Structure 1
Amino acid sequence: MSTAHPTGPATEAAEPPLPRIVRAMAVVERVGNALPHPFWLFWILSAILALTSAVLAALGVSVVSPSDGETVTVRSLLSGDGLAMALSTMIDNFASFPPLGTILVVIMGVAVAERSGFLAALMRVSVSRVPAAWVVFAVAFAGTVAHVASAAAYIILVPLGGLAFRAVGRSPILGIVVAYTAIASGYDASPVPTPNDAIFAGITTAAAQIIDPDIYVSPLSNWFFNIASSVVLAAVITVVTRFVLSRRPDLDPDPDAELDDIAALSLGPRERSGLRRAGLALLLALAALLAVALPAGSPLRGEGGAIAESPLLDGIAVVVAFMFGLVGIVYGWTAGTVSRPAEVPRLMVEGIKQMAPVLVLFFAIAQFLAYFEWSHLGDVLAVRAAEALQTSGVPIVLVFLLILVLLTLVNVMVTSGSAMWSIAAPVLVPMLMLLAVPPETTQALFRIADSGSTAITPMSPYFVMALGFLQRYRKSAGIGTLASYTLPLAVAMTVVWTLLFLAWWALGIPLGPGAPVR
């Protein structure tokens, strides 16, 4: 008697189901791709705002302002006054948008440092001259510092991370993951002032002026917190890499992978000399600044010799731009990348060109924020939400955690920090100010949410870029592969960073110069 053998499709081995992380990332990508460009998103939000203001104005919704006791009533953007305001102030809204001038000034200095090759050389030397035992921490910390180069940080440091790990006998795949996650999920923790600091401070200032028209938030308002955060996050990455990622069995590159030359980490004599001279020039400039600013009667100090509210901090964007420009010029002149004074403004122009997409987005954001302020909708939402929280007795720490979770989830879809903060700040900053939380503290909380989930979302263009670098070593790597590597790091960084914030709040440590945490 013969035994029948099953034939046909039933005999084919069933394909294994996709891992959950892969399916989740695919859903995120589809939903995120359905969102409009941030430029159009803000015009859509403006239209929603106009309709909402018209309805609330018709209902006569109002609140009593805690700042001056005056009654504030919602104004309709669809009224004659609203339409006249929208048309007549459009240019002024853009020209007076708080981050605009600051970011343009800062980026001119940063552009000289970046395009002269100074920042790239600094990153290379920071990851190439460390013992094998410290390579993870060095690459991770370099990732937090690299934010001064904005998007160039990904292009320069991510492949260097793979080279640095391979140079000490460790997996280049791990080096790429560490470098990318340090930049993405620690993006707002730079110990060095960055263009993002100027953008966030400007948006926070605009939102805080809903409650206090005279308030000003400095680009250095979170500086102390950022310095501590960069060290803590680098340590978290080191620990998780050592005890979690290093134990994965899939860290070896493909046998036929095209490996970059490790010699790319080394610097030539002129580059090394350029870094030394640039460092000396920076020290001399800082010493000169301190010599002028330290005396009690210094013109850079404020009333009564104050530093917190002073011309020095008011002009800190100019100081930061000058320092970056100085090291870029000195390095470029020494290394041969800048040979004539006429090349310096050319480098600045290139930096401004790189900012063009951001400037276009700023135009839409500026209108949205101006409409939001004019309609008084921000006042109403802030006061009503603050009253609800006060009467409910919810601890402020729990409010912090709820805001953090909400913004973290939004960040998965809206990966532009300036766009997300422009949407959230006009509500969260005034609301928490009415609960005695300074705007600088709300901004520090936002930094955690804006960074933590960035390393795992395929909506970030730099996620795709990092995946490309990863595929140099493993051709079969996909979205789920990279996300599975970065997920443990991103979660650990977000949790520990949150605990650091809560400890900072509990201890009452200032977040930056003249910026109390509570």
Structure 2
Amino acid sequence: MSDQTASSDQKGFLGWVEKTGNKLPDPVFIFFYLIIALMIVSQICAWLGVSAFHPSLTNPDGTPQLEEAASLFSPENIQRLWVEMPTTFTHFHPLGYVLVVMLGAGVAERSGLFGSAIRGAVRNAPKAMLTPLVALIAMLSNHAADAGYVVMIPLAAIIFASAGRHPLAGIAAAFAGVSGGFSANITPGQLDALLFGITESAYEASNIDGGWSVNFAGNWYFIAVLLFIYLPVIWMVTDKIIEPRLGKWKPDADSDMQSYGDEDRPLTEGEKKGLGRAGLAILGVALLWVFMTIGPGTPLLADGPGNEDAAWYVQAGPLFRSLVAAFLILFLAAGWAYGSAAGTIKNHRDLVNMMAGGMKDMGYYLVLAFAAAHFVAMFGWSNLGLISAVHGADAINNSGLPLPAVLGLIVLFSAALNLFVGSASAKWALLAPVLVPMLMLVGISPDGATAAYRVGDGATNIITPLMVYFPLILVFAQRWQKNFGLGSLTAMMIPYSIWMLITGVALMMIWLFLGIDLGPGAPAQIPVPGTVS
């Protein structure tokens, strides 16, 4: 029996998690089943007269407006489902955000820019700073989507082995950075576009007027601080816990590091020239956006009539909303500049083919988005999201728990759910319709709800076999230690998960307690919209 097969027979909690998770259907069908369940529940709630007073709407006589559960089997909602199906899908906010960013990211990835940048940044790292530098580049590589997994993690193993350290420690540090710290970064990226699109959909479906508008940079400050919190955590766990536990690495007799690919090969002159050109392209795009913000006409500032005395972040609203387009142009320009020098882009047809390739990779996401869009929309049509939020907020108020403790519990709940549902977007599409309005009704902004979710989701990414790259990481590890099984990988990553969860929860609670903005113009706390009844 192979080691990988044997690992599937593990007992205890990890064995239960693996067996339970493997029985779950694909996330697309999870949404399909939930829609059916939602329709049945909506009919039952309509029969029972389930209702709640709207927190921010009143009747003409000034009394609170009563919101009642609406059956999704009603003629109006059945008609709405079939007639508005194209609109429900195409107006799903994450869809546009993600597809726009991926048009540029497809060029940057396929031209080789992401892979060369990662190799160039890590390959010549000083031995004394090897672990923190690997962890830092791993977290930053999340802007490169799949490149962080397929380039950074095997490269880290080779670098550690070349430095006389255990290669599995390199894999652990890189995996913890890429996947455990996937919400930590210096700047917003594709994940922010995805999550905040879902947040916006949940906010609009709730029909609560909380004065909130979507801000692509709504978690910017938080994820930047999170990066520098996770960096020493990964460093400490790798050097003080994981590597001593692994012991000294002794390669197998038939081991040949060169047979594991060209991840550690030096950069060619063309690749070095391409990285230089890409850097200039990035600088040019940044200067263009600065010019459009402070230059003549200030097209990215809302400084027209009525906005002259508004807060700076209100005036900068168009700038924040333009960041999705900014990443498209940045990735496109940098990828083209790199590819033209490295020889991976020879003409404009290569560029178009790479953009098309980026869209091909989004095929599964389009199917998932179709299902998620209808679940979110139908949840709003039923009024169950608003009603659940009102009664949930009332329960929180009656519990007497301080708001930092409430957010801490949301983080822990997201972390536990991640063990069973692997997709970050799928989980947030499930949770957001309830959590976003519910937390708004107790004074926590949609930005705060999104930040709490992503902390919990990231911390347990590295210990769930349901994470799509988990089997790939296992293959990388077995290159260096043939008897390394699924249980071995999970056990190696559990200390990272525990410490990242502890520090993430602590940061979330402290952040809310201090009342610091999570991003530009994105407070963690907001005025409660109306009175919870």
- TM-score, normalised via structure 1 length: 0.93
Q: Deviations over 1:325-348 (max 9, x none)?
A: 111010111111111012111101
Contact kept, 8 Å, 1:25 with 1:458, in 2: the verdict is: no
Matched, 1:238 2:235: yes
> Corresponding residue for 1:101?
96
Q: Deviations over 1:268-301 (max 9, x none)?
A: 1111111112112211221232133125951210
How far apart are the structure 1 equivalents of 2:427 and 2:7?
31
Matched, 1:197 2:198: no
> Corresponding residue for 2:530?
none
Cα shift at 1:508:
2.1
How far apart are the structure 1 equivalents of 2:246 and 2:18?
27
Cα shift at 1:496:
1.1
> Corresponding residue for 2:473?
466
Q: Secondary structure at the match of 1:505?
A: helix
Q: Secondary structure at the match of 1:67?
A: strand
Matched, 1:143 2:138: yes
Query: Which one is further off, 381-390 or 182-191?
Result: 182-191
> Corresponding residue for 2:514?
507
Query: Which one is further off, 75-84 or 19-28?
Result: 19-28
> Corresponding residue for 1:76?
71
> Corresponding residue for 1:497?
504
> Corresponding residue for 1:43?
32
The aligned runs of 1:285-300 (5 Å cut-off) are 285-295=285-295, 298-300=298-300
Whichever residue aligns with residue 484 of structure 1, its letter is A
> Corresponding residue for 2:272?
272
How far apart are the structure 1 equivalents of 2:504 and 2:456?
10
The one of 436, 439, 447 aligned to 1:432:
439
Q: Secondary structure at the match of 1:413?
A: coil
Matched, 1:216 2:223: no
Contact kept, 8 Å, 1:411 with 1:454, in 2: the verdict is: yes
The one of 32, 35, 38 aligned to 2:21:
32
Q: Secondary structure at the match of 1:465?
A: helix
Q: Give identity over the alignment, percent.
A: 34
Q: Deviations over 1:417-469 (max 9, x none)?
A: 00000010110110000011100011000011111011011111211110000
Contact kept, 8 Å, 2:155 with 2:263, in 1: the verdict is: no
Matched, 1:59 2:48: yes
Query: Which one is further off, 296-305 or 376-385?
Result: 296-305
Matched, 1:365 2:372: yes
Contact kept, 8 Å, 1:172 with 1:253, in 2: the verdict is: no
How far apart are the structure 2 equivalents of 1:98 and 1:132?
45
Whichever residue aligns with residue 505 of structure 1, its letter is L
Q: Which runs of 5+ in 2 are unaligned?
A: 1-5, 59-64, 526-533
Whichever residue aligns with residue 346 of structure 2, its letter is S
- TM-score, normalised via structure 2 length: 0.90
Whichever residue aligns with residue 349 of structure 2, its letter is A
The aligned runs of 1:300-311 (5 Å cut-off) are 300-303=300-303, 304=307, 306-308=312-314, 309-311=316-318
How far apart are the structure 2 equivalents of 1:507 and 1:225?
13
How far apart are the structure 1 equivalents of 2:296 and 2:502?
42
Query: Which one is further off, 219-228 or 447-456?
Result: 219-228
Instruction: State the Cα RMSD in Å.
Output: 2.0
> Corresponding residue for 1:452?
459
Matched, 1:174 2:166: no
Aligned length: 502
Q: Secondary structure at the match of 1:517?
A: coil
> Corresponding residue for 2:401?
394
Query: Which one is further off, 385-394 or 98-107?
Result: 385-394
Q: Quick one: structure 1 residues 158 and 253, their matched pair in 2 at CA, closer, same or farther if it must change by over 3 Å? A: farther
How far apart are the structure 1 equivalents of 2:52 and 2:40?
19
The aligned runs of 1:334-345 (5 Å cut-off) are 334-345=341-352
Matched, 1:319 2:305: no
Q: Which runs of 5+ in 1 are unaligned?
A: 1-16
How far apart are the structure 1 equivalents of 2:82 and 2:210?
23
> Corresponding residue for 2:112?
117
Contact kept, 8 Å, 1:193 with 1:320, in 2: the verdict is: no
Whichever residue aligns with residue 445 of structure 2, its letter is P
Matched, 1:403 2:392: no
Cα shift at 1:213:
8.2
Q: Secondary structure at the match of 1:342?
A: helix
Q: Quick one: structure 1 residues 268 and 418, their matched pair in 2 at CA, closer, same or farther if it must change by over 3 Å? A: same
Cα shift at 1:155:
0.9
Cα shift at 1:193:
2.8
Q: Secondary structure at the match of 2:255?
A: coil
Query: Which one is further off, 214-223 or 264-273?
Result: 214-223
Matched, 1:485 2:488: no
Cα shift at 1:216:
2.6
Cα shift at 1:46:
0.6
> Corresponding residue for 2:528?
none
Contact kept, 8 Å, 1:415 with 1:459, in 2: the verdict is: yes
Q: Deviations over 1:239-295 (max 9, x none)?
A: 111211121144514423534338824211111111112112211221232133125
